[in-house]
Every structure is written in C-alpha cells, then in structure tokens.
Amino acid sequence: MKKKIICICMLWMLLVLSGCGAVKKAVNLSTSYEEHYESSEEQLKDKVLTERWQAKGVRLGVIAKEDAKKEVSYQNAKEALLINCDTNEVLVSQNVFDRTYPASTTKIMTALLVLENLDLKEEVTIKHDITFDDSAAVSMKLKKGDKISVESLLNALIVMSANDAAVALAEETAGSEAKFVNMMNERAKELGATGTHFANSHGLHEKNHYTTAYDLYLIFHEVTKHNEYFDIASKANSYIEYTDASGQLKAYDMSSTDEYLTGEHALPSKISFVGGKTGTTTEAGACLVLMTENDKGEEYISVVLKADNHPILYKTMNEVLSEENK
C-alpha cells in the first residue's frame, strides 16, 4: 500500500514538474515577440501575437529608414508619400521621416479619437467661450452654453477645419484638452507613429507639436476603418444647426477647405476623391492628406507636407497622384 502511495505521489510530482515546465515554455513563447517576429508559424502569429503583429506593419506599407529615398523629386514640398492600400506598395517616398509641423492635419487624430470614443448623436454643452490668441484661427465662435451634437462638431472639424470644434470635442472626449492631448500621443505610439508629438487638438502652431508624412499615413490609415469620417470628408459643403445658451437656434453653412472638392483644382484623369484633410499655417506651409481611388478600384493614401503655397500644394499632389496610373 505504501509503495502504491509513493508511486502515486511520485507520478503526481512528475506531472506537476512537467506542467510547470510547459507553462514556463508557453509564457516564453507568448512574450518573446521579437524572436517570433521572424517566425513563419502562422498559428502563433494569428492566435498569440495578433495585435502586436499588426502593429509591426504587416498590414501596412512599410518603409525602412535606411531605404528611404534621399533624392528630392518634388522641389516645392518638404515631404511626399503615396502608398497603395490594397497592395501596401510604396510608390512615392520623399523625406517621409523628417520632422515637420502638421497644421490642421492634426485633426485626423482628433477625429479618430472622437469616432472611437463618442456617439455621433450625443449632445455637447460647451463649457466656456472657446477663443484663440491667433485672430486668423478658423472658428465657429462657440460660446459657453451652446448645445451642439458630436456629429455637427465633426462636420465643423473636418469640413471647415474649425479649431474651436477640435477643443470642444477634445473636452467632451477626455474632460479637458490636456487629457485629450495625452490620449492623442498615446494613440500615436500604439499606431507606430513614433515621430509624432501633439501639443493641442487642432494644429495651430506650437514648437513642440510635430509629425512626419509616414506618421500621418499611419494615423489616417486607422481612420479608414470609420466610414463616418469619409461621409463627412467627401462633402464640398455642410450645413449644421445648434442652439445657444438661451435656446435660440443657430445655423452654420460651411464650405470645405479642400480645393479638390470646391472645384478650384481637378484630380488627375481616372482618379476619384474619397476623403482627406487639409492644413495650413505659416510654419507648416500648405499640407494635404488624401485617400483616392484609381480606375481599377485600388485605394491610395497620399501625403504632401510643407508645400510653398496652395497652388503648389495641389500641383505637387497631382504629380504624386499621377503615379497611381503607371
């Protein structure tokens, strides 16, 4: 009987010991990401490392820094990028990792966080008059007590690039703009946009507010998961209504800042507009991020930053977009 008990005990101990070894091995497998990044074990990639695997850019256009093109093909813009979203092929790459100011292309990240965290039908009560030191800052002139939907604020943010809409959405999402900026920077890191640092929700110039063309591609690529963004970004005009603190109905009829939509510039032949975001400040120059589609139905993301002025911005963008047809 004693021998039987001893045998059972020894067997149990062996099982426990072997079990510990198995657990330890499993932990090592699941946490040793870099080791398995080169692995061809599809099951491991799909079941254990799904999110981190995606974050490494497997489903994105990837440009190695050492392979980034050094020559400047587009003389009147600092950065230019064009990536086929269907194949992840990089067709244009000019200085795409150089730090530059984003201006209102910042609002792509603001919109992304709003779409991820708020209901479009939610009503927002403006907490204070939203003003800016820059008298030229585009604004709806939102006042304390105004009541306006998230959807209307998003229209103002994307279509007319209203800076006070950005602040209102930031405060509604995070409680304060400062907390929202922390969310922006954290989300940028999650998306791999490590060359970016945000200091506000709108893009008015601050020295410590910067990005790169490639980072904007990563952020905009994430926005493509939200059809609501493109429902708004494809509008040449938008009409919204809201009420002020006294309950009086207010209305705002706005035009797009995108000159492709307003007809001031035409896209190259066989290329269709899907949506995007403009940005302009003295320090940032003229900027544009776009999603377009060629006649084969392939979608592309393009970025042009720090063009000398608006006519040159759209001329340069057309040169970049023409690569879709080659």
DSSP per-residue codes, 30-85: HH-HHHHHT---HHHHHHTSHHHHHHTTTTS----GGGS--S-S-TT-SEEEEEET
Distance CA 205, CA 284 (A): 8
Q: Cα separation of 63 and 42, whole Å?
A: 23
Query: Rg of the chain's alpha carbons, rounded to an integer?
Result: 25
- Residue of 161, 201, 238, 256 marked active site: 161
List the beta bridge partners of residue 90: 83
List CB contacts of 308: < 8 A, sequence separation 6 or more: 76, 77, 285, 286
- 152 included as an active-site residue: no
Q: Among 104, 139, 238, 256, which one carries the catalytic annotation?
A: 104
104 catalytic, yes or no?
yes
Q: Outline where DSSP puts E strands in 117-226.
A: 123-125, 147-149
CA distance 322 to 13: 70
284: three-class secondary structure by DSSP: coil
- ∠ Cα 138 127 154 (to 5°): 45
Contacts of 169 (CB under 8 A, 6+ apart): 110, 114, 118, 124, 150, 153, 154, 157, 201
* Tokens (6 digits) for 91: 């067709």
Is 18 a known active-site residue? no
The residues facing 305 across adjacent strands are 79
Strand locations in the chain, DSSP E?
79-84, 90-94, 123-125, 147-149, 237-243, 249-255, 271-281, 285-294, 299-307
Length of the chain equals 326
Catalytic pick from 78, 107, 277, 306?
107
Residues with catalytic annotation? 104, 107, 161
